[in-house]
Chains A and B, each alone.
Chain A
């Protein structure tokens, strides 16, 4: 209360002190909230992201190996049917299949890295979202709970896209080429023909 000499009114001082305390409390809340966010997301480190990539590799590469084995069998059959198994052409097709296989492996590994990268982006997006909520609400408890929930969501395994066929069907190409060659061979040997008159004359003379 203000005295007769005006020396007792401390309301302005109190207001300033309270404002400073409120600000300190606000900053403490923000710090607590940020700590909660960092803590909840602390598990998302390089090891975690590398594991994400490895999980995809473990899922995809065996499927690729299966497809490769199938393609190899088909190629052997196709080459065998054409009698080309021990030929330079077989060597070429074999190398081509190997190239497809190894390139597909790299692509799958890169895709695993993409899953890892996407998870990293998701973590950063989540961090930004949580910080935004913290800035708006200044409520560390709510944000801490939300951070834990978000971290659990991030930890859920991503659904991997089906691989589909990763090879160009080399064996089929070999078969088609072989069929064409057979057809051409039959034609030149006077065998099965679509049309009569293979000697290109207009008719035959019968004695």
Chain B
């Protein structure tokens, strides 16, 4: 015959199983959260590095686009072009005597020099003006090329960012597997607890049918409470507190997982 001691042991197993199951589930959840945090942090670090790279590149580009830098580039290009154009000017071509002018009068010679100088001055002024105009084109081209390179660099960074962030959901999903063994043990314990609870309740009921009025009464009072408590355990609830409406002293003997 199933005695009260057997029943207490079964109930104790059930309660302990429920408590262990909850603890294991908590531990498993912590493992998952920890792994997910790790993956998230790593991805954030990668994204931060890429953002930093993009910002630095853009900052560098902007530093070449401020007025000072543009003026410097303009001055450099103008000077280079002005030199290139002025270097082409041949002073002799303006005022060298033509064949047959060997016996020209001084007046004519002076005119040749003056006209030549005037023409050369005009040509040099034109060269300098042309240098300024053409320098605008060169500075514009330099800017276009810099923007294009920066754009290519940003595209590259965006591609890396997109590619990396697309993997994070897979990693977070993989993190769910962390603590799977613990969850398995928790489920096993929970199942064992349920079985023990069922055995306890079933045997108590059987005793009552056999005339064990006191035992039946105890079981009748205790079984629902125990069931409620186990259910609480299985839901991962608090594992402390009194069993409500339980008049039986046996309940006090069950180690209900005082915190």
Contact = CB atoms under 8 A, between A and B. Distances in A.
Interface of A: 3-7, 9-10, 12-13, 15-17, 19-20, 23, 26-27, 30, 34, 68, 72, 75-76, 79-80, 85-88, 90-92, 94-99, 101-103, 105-106, 109-110, 113, 117, 120-121, 124, 127-128, 131, 135
Interface size bucket, B side?
Answer: 35 or more
Interface pairs A-B: 6 shortest CB-CB:
A5-B184, A7-B181, A98-B94, A95-B115, A95-B119, A91-B111
Contacts of B167: 16, 19-20, 23
6 contacts: A20-B171, A76-B98, A86-B101, A91-B108, A98-B95, A113-B81
B104 interface: yes
Interface of B: 81, 84-85, 88-90, 93-95, 98-101, 103-105, 107-108, 111-112, 114-116, 118-120, 122-123, 126-127, 130, 134, 137-138, 141, 144-145, 148, 152, 155-156, 159-160, 163-164, 166-167, 170-171, 173-174, 176-177, 180-181, 183-185, 187-188
Given A6-B180, A16-B167, A135-B155, A76 B99 contact: yes
A23 B123 contact: no
A85 B116 CA distance: 16
Contacts of B174: 12-13, 15-17
Contacts of A117: 137-138, 141
A32 to B, nearest CB: 13
Given A19-B167, A27-B160, A12 B101 contact: no
Contact of A98 (B100, B119, B180, B184): B119
Given A5-B188, A87-B108, A12 B170 contact: yes
A203 B119 CA distance: 54
Contacts of A131: 152, 155
Given A19-B170, A95-B116, A117-B138, 18 more contacts: A5-B187, A6-B184, A13-B174, A75-B98, A88-B111, A91-B108, A94-B116, A95-B115, A98-B119, A99-B123, A101-B93, A102-B90, A106-B123, A113-B81, A113-B84, A117-B137, A124-B148, A131-B155
